[in-house]
Copies of this chain bind each other. A is one copy, B any other.
Amino acid sequence: MDQDSWLDDDQLAAWVRLAAVMELLPGELDSQLRRDAGLLHFEYFVLAMLSEAPERTLRMTELAALTTATLPRLSHVVRRLEDRGYVRRAPCPGDRRATNATLTEAGWEKVREAAPGHSATVRRLIFDALTPRQVDQLREIAGSVLGHLDPRADKAAVYTRYDGGR
């Protein structure tokens, strides 16, 4: 742990700001979605991923990879979503260890209802403050960090129509 593990001034300045954003943003997203749709951001994200999947169905493991969540976390969340009627779970015919999660009609309606407000919030909180050039830079930067942070998570980035099927 020698000298060159320290951050230089530029890195430090970038990190302090990034850390503050990371601290504030999730709360803002949760708060808007909770107020307008009764969903947490992560719950919305789960529903959105299902809404884009073939048959609106995904195996829990795959859904976990797409949402960069641990399996226990996803299991709890999906149980709560199932209790509310947005998702249905069924054993996977091919592999009896696995569980398929399917978006119900009510879940589909919920995503479509929540999507516009959520998109608008993301745009307002992040992109209204950035130039088009900075949006490109952000995509590159976040992509590099993500690939470096968890190669598995790169899968998530292929899902571009994240907003629930506009």
Interface residues of A (CB under 8 A from B): 1, 5-7, 9-26, 28, 45, 67-69, 116-117, 119-120, 122-123, 125-130, 132, 134-150, 153, 156-157, 159-163, 166
Contacts and interface: CB of A to CB of B under 8 A. Distances in A.
Given A7-B127, A15-B162, A134-B144, 8 more contacts: A6-B163, A12-B163, A16-B162, A20-B146, A23-B69, A125-B145, A125-B149, A129-B145
A150 to B, nearest CB: 6
Given A5-B123, A7-B163, A26-B22, A142 B12 contact: no
Given A129-B144, A144-B130, A166-B6, A149 B21 contact: yes
A33 to B, nearest CB: 13
